[in-house]
Amino acid sequence: MVDFIEFYGRRARSLYLHSNTDTHQMTGPTVSVVTPTYNSSRFLEDTLQSLRNQRYKDFEHIVIDGESDDGTHDILREYEDTYPMRWISEPDEGMYSAIEKGFKRAQGEILCWLNSDDLYMPWTLEIVAERLNRKEKDWITGHPAHLDESGRVTNVSPIRPYYNRKWLVRGWYHRRGLGFVQQESTFWTSDLWNRAGGFPDDVRLAGDYYLWRQFAEETQLRTVDTVLAAHRQHKNQMSHDISQYYEEIEDAVSPSHRLLNLMRVNRLYNIYNIFRN
């Protein structure tokens, strides 16, 4: 993990040298990070530390807990006065209900959510604030990265991802199609959320799939050439059973999407954009 952070930290720093930004003195838009959680004390502290260790300080962290009974509250109390984090614990109607509840409390110009088993990189919010402070961008994402259950990096996309807006609108970006848009690596303006945000009432796992399609109706997803977050994979996470995810998007998925995957269309599209740019 240390070598990984050093390598991508240098790449992240180069983004700022290129834009002539003093990263340690930078102030700018407030970033609101919402974390939904329920009985996730095993990984929660890693998530909180990844926020507390951000180099960019103009942010707020809003944790929405669904009345956990596994020690989550003790962890939150330990961290609540060490960085700009506040939390509530009350019944909710599931993850997306909790996320929307958090966004209603958010005061930032930039929004995102980070699940309670995932991580940000130390440079994440400073890059996000700098890039989304440019008026021509409404939402951005970085290189997808994954962790195993113990927190070791298992996979990082070596090629800068690019996302075709028309393909996003059509719903082609999912595992069996062109691959996921990694949720924890994606950030957007509050203005875009107000125009196109919200989740369908009947989804438990695929809310981000529908949200990206709604955002793409409004504007192009831009990418940055570094890792912004890492998704932890473990057997107890809600998304472990991918079949339930596909039940929620079955009306939008065509058998032809399998062909897009087999032909590696997304990788070819990424390589094409690298040479074009």
pLDDT along the chain (277 residues), means of 10: 58 54 66 97 97 98 97 97 98 95 98 97 97 91 95 90 95 90 98 96 93 98 97 76 84 68 71 75
Please identify which residue in the block is written with the tokens 């996003």: 168
Cβ atoms of residues 230 and 147 within 8 Å:
yes
Q: Give 156-163's long-range contacts (Cβ < 8 A, gap of 24+).
A: 156/4, 156/8, 156/227, 159/267, 159/270, 159/271, 159/274, 160/223, 160/225, 160/270, 160/273, 160/274, 161/223, 161/266, 161/270, 162/223, 162/269, 162/270, 162/273, 163/221, 163/223
Q: What does the alpha-carbon distance between residue 214 and residue 200 come to, in Å, rounded to a whole number?
A: 11
Could you give the angle at the alpha carbon of 159 between the alpha carbons of 123 and 49, nearest 5°? 25
Cβ atoms of residues 35 and 64 within 8 Å:
yes
Give the global pTM.
Answer: 0.88
**Helices H / strands E in the chain, number of each:** 11, 11
CATH class of 2-276: alpha beta
* 225-262 tens-digit pLDDT: 999 999 998 877 666 678 888 889 877 776 667 666 66
At 5 the pLDDT is: 58
Tokens representing 19?
């834009």
